[in-house]
C-alpha cells in the first residue's frame, strides 16, 4: 500500500482527475436550446433558412407498446439522430373507455385512462430508464422533453387528481354559483349576494373549485416537474430541454373566485365587486349594459392576473431558472377563446371577441406578460385549425422593437410540419425499428 501512494502515482491520479470535468463538459447541455432572443427575432428570414440548434424537428415519441428497454431505445435513437431529429417529445396515448372497459372500470377522464406502458410511467423503474435515455439524448445533441398528454388529465388517476382531490384543493372556495330558492326554504349556504324575486330568493354563493388556489402552480411543480430533477443525475439532466403540456385541462372562468377576492378586487380596481356579481352571469349581449360590461372586463382581468400569478408564473419561473422551455397547448384548438380567460369577459356574440386579449395572450405580450409564448400546432385529425400555447420563454426583451401583436389571428400565423414516432410493439422479436409517419404536428 505504501508503494501505491508514491509521489509519481499520486501525480498521475491528480492529472487524470483534473480531466474529468473537461470530459464531462464535452456532453453539451440541451437546456437553453430553442429559446427565442432579440437577435434572432430581428432577422427571422435568415433564421428560418438556417434555423439555430433547438428549432429543428421535434416529433412525438410514443412510449406505450412493448416493454421499454434502454438497449432498444438506444437503437431507435441512432436512427433518429441520423434523421435530423432535434428533439423528442415522449408521449403516452389514452385507452378507450368504450372498448377498454377493464382498464377504465374504476373511472376515467375524457376518452379513457392512459395506456401506461411497462414499466409504468413515472414508476421508479421508468425513471431509471428516463435518466439513462436522457444521457443518450445529450450525447447525440437531441433535446428530450416530456408530454403530459393523458397522464395529466383529471379523472385518470395521475398527479393532477392527487392535487385536486386533496382536502385543501377539493373544498377550496373557488367558483361562483347562482340559483333561486323558495323564500320559505332554509338556506344551507352563505350568499355573497341575494335579492327577492317574487316568492323566490335569487342567491349567488361560492362552491368548491381549485383553479385560483394560491398554491396550485407550486403543487404541480412539486408533484410533476420536480420529481424529474430529483430522480436524475447530473449527466441525465444534460439531455432535458423542455416539458410540454398537451391539452391543458385547467378551467378558470369569469365565475372563478378565491379566498379574499373581495379585498383583492377592491385593491386592484378600486370598487366593491359584491353588488355587481349578477353581471358576471350575463349570458347574452343584451343582458350587459355599459356599466356591467366594464365590471365583466375588470373582473376577468383580475381573474386572469391571479391565474398567471398563482398557476402559470410559478411553473414558468421553475423552467426559466433551469433553461428549460415550457410549452402549453390549449384544449380548444384555438376555437374556444375563453378557455383560459384569454379574452376578457366578452360574451359569445360580442363583436370584440377575438380582438381583445389579456396577459398571456398575443395582444398583451409586449406590454404585460413576462411569461407569454406561442407554440403553434396543427393537431392530427383537426385539419388546419391552429392551437396556441402560452407560458413559455418569450419575453419583452426577445421581441424586436418593430413587433406588436394585435390580434389572436396574428398570433396564430406560424405553423410547421413534423412527424410522429411510435414505439411500436415488436411481436417479441425485439428488433423492429420505430415507424415514422408524416402528420401535421410541430413546434416552433
Alpha carbon distance 323, 335 (integer Å):
31
**What is the C-alpha to C-alpha distance for residues 412 and 410, in angstroms, rounded to an integer?**
5
CA 138 vs CA 13, 27, 58, 283, 400: distances in Å: 28, 6, 15, 52, 31
Phi-psi region at 339: left, alpha or beta (left = phi > 0; alpha = psi -120 to 50)? alpha
pLDDT of residue 335: 75
Return the bridge partners of 94, or none.
114
pLDDT value for 112: 92
Spatial contact of 137 and 120, defined as CB atoms under 8 Å apart:
no
The pLDDT of residue 23 is: 37
Domain assignments of the chain as residue spans, ordered by start: 30-173+210-270+279-439, 174-208
Q: What cell does 131 get?
A: 435518466
pLDDT score for 268: 97
| Digit-coded pLDDT (tens) for 355-387 | 222 223 332 322 332 332 222 222 222 232 222
pLDDT at res. 285: 56
Max distance between CA atoms of the chain, in angstroms, equals 102
Low-confidence ranges of the chain (pLDDT < 70): 1-28, 40-41, 283-287, 337-338, 341-444
pLDDT recorded at residue 40: 65
Q: What pLDDT, in 10s, does the model give residues 225-265? A: 999 999 999 999 999 999 999 888 898 999 999 999 999 99
Amino acid at each position: 500500500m505504501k508503494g501505491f501512494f508514491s509521489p509519481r502515482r499520486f501525480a498521475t491520479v491528480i492529472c487524470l482527475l483534473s480531466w474529468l470535468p473537461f470530459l464531462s463538459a464535452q456532453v453539451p447541455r440541451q437546456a437553453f436550446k430553442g429559446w427565442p432572443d432579440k437577435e434572432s427575432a430581428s432577422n427571422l428570414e435568415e433564421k428560418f433558412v438556417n434555423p439555430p440548434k433547438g428549432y429543428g424537428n421535434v416529433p412525438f415519441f410514443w412510449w406505450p407498446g412493448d416493454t421499454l428497454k434502454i438497449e432498444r431505445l438506444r437503437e431507435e435513437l441512432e436512427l433518429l439522430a441520423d434523421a435530423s431529429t432535434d428533439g423528442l417529445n415522449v408521449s403516452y396515448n389514452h385507452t378507450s373507455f368504450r372498448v377498454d372497459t377493464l382498464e377504465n372500470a374504476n373511472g376515467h377522464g375524457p376518452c379513457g385512462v392512459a395506456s401506461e406502458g411497462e414499466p409504468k410511467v413515472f414508476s421508479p423503474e421508468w425513471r431509471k430508464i428516463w435518466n439513462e435515455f436522457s444521457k443518450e439524448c445529450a450525447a447525440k445533441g437531441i433535446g428530450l422533453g416530456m408530454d403530459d398528454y393523458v397522464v395529466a388529465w383529471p379523472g385518470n388517476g395521475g398527479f393532477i387528481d392527487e392535487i385536486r382531490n386533496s382536502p385543501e384543493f377539493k373544498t377550496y372556495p373557488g367558483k361562483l354559483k347562482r340559483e333561486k330558492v323558495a323564500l320559505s326554504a332554509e338556506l344551507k349556504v352563505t350568499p355573497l349576494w341575494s335579492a327577492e324575486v317574487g316568492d323566490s330568493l335569487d342567491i349567488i354563493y361560492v362552491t368548491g373549485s381549485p383553479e385560483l388556489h394560491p398554491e396550485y402552480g407550486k403543487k404541480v411543480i412539486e408533484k410533476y416537474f420536480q420529481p424529474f430533477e430529483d430522480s436524475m443525475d447530473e449527466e441525465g439532466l444534460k439531455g432535458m430541454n423542455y416539458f410540454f403540456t398537451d391539452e391543458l385541462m385547467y378551467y378558470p372562468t369569469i365565475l372563478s373566485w378565491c379566498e379574499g377576492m373581495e379585498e383583492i378586487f377592491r385593491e386592484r380596481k378600486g370598487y366593491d365587486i359584491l353588488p355587481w356579481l349578477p353581471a358576471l352571469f350575463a349570458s347574452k349581449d343584451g343582458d350587459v349594459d355599459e356599466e356591467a360590461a366594464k365590471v365583466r372586463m375588470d373582473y376577468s382581468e383580475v381573474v386572469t392576473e391571479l391565474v398567471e400569478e398563482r398557476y402559470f408564473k410559478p411553473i414558468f419561473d421553475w423552467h426559466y431558472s433551469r433553461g428549460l422551455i415550457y410549452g402549453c397547448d390549449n384544449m380548444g384548438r384555438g376555437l374556444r377563446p375563453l378557455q383560459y380567460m384569454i379574452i376578457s369577459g366578452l360574451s359569445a356574440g360580442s363583436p370584440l371577441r377575438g380582438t381583445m386579449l389579456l396577459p398571456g395572450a398575443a395582444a398583451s405580450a409586449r406590454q404585460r406578460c413576462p411569461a407569454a409564448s406561442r407554440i403553434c400546432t396543427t393537431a392530427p385529425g383537426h385539419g388546419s385549425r391552429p392551437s396556441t400555447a402560452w407560458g413559455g420563454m418569450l419575453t419583452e426583451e426577445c421581441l424586436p422593437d418593430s413587433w406588436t401583436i394585435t390580434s389572436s389571428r396574428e398570433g396564430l400565423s406560424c405553423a410547421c410540419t413534423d412527424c410522429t414516432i411510435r414505439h411500436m410493439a415488436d411481436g417479441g422479436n425485439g428488433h423492429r425499428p420505430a415507424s415514422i409517419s408524416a402528420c401535421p404536428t410541430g413546434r416552433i
